Structure 1
Amino acid sequence: MQRELLEKLREITEEEQRILDGEGQVDQDLYTSGKEFTVDSGKMLEEGKLIAVRTHTRFVYFPSHRHNYVEVLYACEGELINVIDGKQVTIRKGELLFLNQFTRHEILPAGENDIAINFMILPEFFDVAYSMAGSNNVLADFVVNVLRRDEERGEYLHFKVSEVLQIQNLLENMIYSLVTGKGEDNRINQTTMGLIFLYLLNSVQYVEMRVPNQYENMISMSTLKYIEEKYRTATLTELCSQLHLPMHILSKMIKKTTGFNFKELLQRKRLSKAMELMCDTDLPISDIIAAVGYENNSYFHRVFKERYHMTPRSFRIENRKNNNIRI
């Protein structure tokens, strides 16, 4: 991170100065209007804003609290120790912690050189990130659904991505624009977060998560990423080999956590990709069928019609009639 920006983030805030002067504890009135310590987006975000950023307040213990928005913590320097459901979760320089709405956590006192950023994000902010990921990205569906839940279940996603330079550069740009007051455009910030989101989806191997059935969910994310990247040639046998799991156990996990079996997930991805190619290109349908991994044309026509209630040719004609084609 640029030294100039880091020095600005290191400056002692008014709140921190009061703590250093002996105030000794968090002034909850700065964060909430209610009796319970729920940090309120109405206090933290200006009207009309979908995202805000502030430096994490150092030198003080944050007692158990939650938020009515999605919180993303990013460590610029040093570390920040959270306690979530009794478990210590330490985010170190370059790492990100996504906290679901209403996830309850505590934060241990940070030292002078522990510089962290709080992104305060309304759930609808992720709509752009979600659309950038593509309507047929099953992994994005999974991650966004985790973030949008409004239940107090201690859910988080911890991305250990300090070595992923693209993410670090995008975060620095975003922090700079918001901290300097040059980040007034929600759309630019949403697009930047969308790019970060895309890189994070490609970094599943670096994520630690806390959701119910953590191991099963991690296996499902690996499955969805595999289908996203290898849908042309993907097989359950190959995936079982990669994950070192018996086929009947993996099949049961996938069905339980996604609601679909492997064949259904693969078919949904292939059909969505075929539909995208029909809209975006002039490729013959037979070429599209081969491009998405089907070897049997008649089988493709049958499953396509079952899913979209029209033939591929009719779909393409209807799409062009509505001027939706983007060549």
Structure 2
Amino acid sequence: MKQEIIADLSRITEEEQAILDGKTEVEKERYSSGQKFVMDAGKLLKRGKLIDIRPHTRFIRFPAHSHNYVEMIYMCQGSTVHTINGDRIELKTGELLILNQNAVQEIEPAGRDDIAVNFLILPEFFDQTLRMIGAEENQLKDFIVGCLKSGEVPLCYLHYRIADVLPVQNLIENLVWTLLHHQSNKRSINQITMGLLFLQLMNYTERVQVGEQYFEQEMLLGVYRYIEEHYREGSLSELAEELHYDFYTLIRMIRRLTGKNYTELVQNKRLTQAAYLLETTGLSVADISERVGYENMSYFHRIFKERYGISPKKYRVEKKIE
């Protein structure tokens, strides 16, 4: 990260100066409105803003707290130690930690040279941002976004070890720069940049740590990633080998966690990809059928109609009319 940004984020704040002068506890009223220590977007975000940043407050321990917004923590320099729902995480330079509203977090005191930036993001920001990821349905995207936006997925954090991934580093730096400085069209820039950031992060889900207690969700993340990459020619046996799972154990876990079997998940991906190609390309129906993994055209027509209620050709015509 540019030293100019590091210098901006390294300045001793009024709060930090009070800590250096002897304050021994976090001033909860600065962050929270109620008796429970819940970081409150109403106190930390200016009215009307969906996203903002603030430097992480150093020199003091933050006791257990939660958030009523999505928090994304980027380690610009040094490291910080977090305990999230019992999992101890050391966040190192260039790494990213994303917490949803189910996360209970504690943070050990950071030193002067441990510079982290906290992104405060209201869930509705993602409704606008994630349109940038693409129009087609995507099970991997839906799983990751579900982790962030709702309590439906029992996964409270994503720890990305992406310090060596230059595109991700550049996009985060762009976000920090835009939010630190007053620029025209800032909201549009932030939405587009965040969309591009999530596109990149979806390419590095093998770099995500979610904690031992969430091993099933980590497995599911691997299943969705594999299907996204191999929906045309992949196999369940290859997936089991890649994830180091017993074949029959994996079958049972996929069914229990998704309500579908592996073949149904693959078919869902193939059909949504076919629909996307029908909407956005001039490829023939036969070419699309082959591209998504179906050599038998009559079978493709039948299952597409079962899914969408109309033939692939009619689907294309109706989407063009819309």
When normalised by structure 2's length, the TM-score is 0.94
Give the AA of the match of 2:264. E
The aligned counterpart of 1:233 is 233
SS in 2 for 1:173: helix
Counterparts of 2:320 and 2:153 in 1: how far apart (Å)? Answer: 46
8 Å Cα contact 2:147/2:154 also seen in 1: no
Give the deviation of 1:87 after TM superposition: 2.9
| Counterpart residue identity of residue 107, structure 2 | I
In the alignment, is the contact (CA less than 8 A) between 1:304 and 1:311 conserved in 2?
Answer: yes
Deviation at 1:187, TM superposition (A): 2.3
Residue 209 (1) aligns with residue 210 (2): yes
2:127 is matched with 127
CA distance in 2, matches of 1:105, 1:152: 18
Q: 1:177-326 alignment to 2 at 5 Å?
A: 177-182=178-183, 185-210=186-211, 214-322=214-322
Q: CA RMSD in A?
A: 1.9
Instruction: Note if contact 1:16-1:59 (Cα within 8 Å) is conserved in structure 2.
Output: yes
Alignment-derived partner of residue 141 in structure 1? 142
* Contact 1:128–1:191 (8 Å) recurs in 2: no
Q: CA deviation at 1:197?
A: 0.9
| Structure 1 range deviating more: 268-277 or 151-160 | 151-160
Instruction: Tell me, yes or no, if structure 1 residue 162 matches structure 2 residue 163.
Output: yes
1:46 correspondence with 2:62: no
Equivalent-residue separation in structure 2 for 1:183 and 1:145 (angstroms): 31
Alignment of 1:65-76 (within 5 A): 65-76=65-76
For 2:297, the aligned partner's letter is: N
**Which residue of structure 2 lines up, in the alignment, with residue 325 of structure 1?**
none
Q: Is the 8 A contact 2:162 2:168 kept in 1?
A: yes
**CA apart distance, 1:184:** 6.4
Classify 1:150/1:251 alpha carbon distance in 2 versus 1 (closer, same or farther; 3 Å).
closer
Residues 155 and 214, structure 2, Cα contact 8 Å, conserved in 1: no
Amino acid at match of 1:279: E
Cα 1:87–1:231 shift into 2, 3 Å: closer
Q: How many angstroms does 1:150 deviate by?
A: 4.2
Q: Tell me how far apart the structure 2 counterparts of residues 75 and 44 of structure 1 sit (CA, whole Å).
A: 20
- Is contact 1:101–1:151 with CA below 8 Å preserved after alignment? no
- AA aligned to 2:174 is N
Q: Relative to 1, partners in 2 of residues 1:204 and 1:264: Cα closer, same or farther, differing over 3 Å? A: same
User: 1:185 corresponds to which letter in structure 2?
Assistant: K
Q: 1:283 to 1:152 in 2, by over 3 A?
A: closer
Q: Cα distance, 1:45 vs. partner? A: 0.8
Whether the 8 Å CA contact 2:146–2:152 is kept in 1: the answer is no
CA displacement 1:133-186 (0-9 Å, x = unmatched): 334211111111111224897721110110111111111111111122337622
Runs of at least 5 residues in structure 1 that lack an aligned partner in the other structure: 323-327
| Percent of pairs with identical residues | 46
* Alpha-carbon displacement from aligned partner over 1:204-253 (angstroms, at most 9, x marks no partner): 11110048x52221221111111111222122222223223332211112
Instruction: Give, in whole Å, the separation in 1 of the partners of 2:197 and 2:87.
Output: 27
Structure 1 residue 2: deviation in Å?
0.9
Match of 2:6 in 1: 6
Query: How far apart, in 1, do the equivalents of 2:303 and 2:283 lie?
Result: 20
Shift of the 152–112 alpha-carbon distance from structure 1 to 2, 3 Å rule, reads farther
Distance in structure 2 (CA, Å) of the matches to 1:74 and 1:240: 33
1:122 aligned partner, one-letter code: L
- Answer whether contact 1:178 1:184 (CA < 8 A) is retained: no
Q: Retained in 1: the 8 A contact 2:70–2:121? A: yes
How many matched pairs? 321
Q: Which runs of 5+ in 2 are unaligned?
A: none
Q: More deviation in 77-86 or 7-16?
A: 77-86
> 1-side partners of 2:208 and 2:244: how far apart?
19
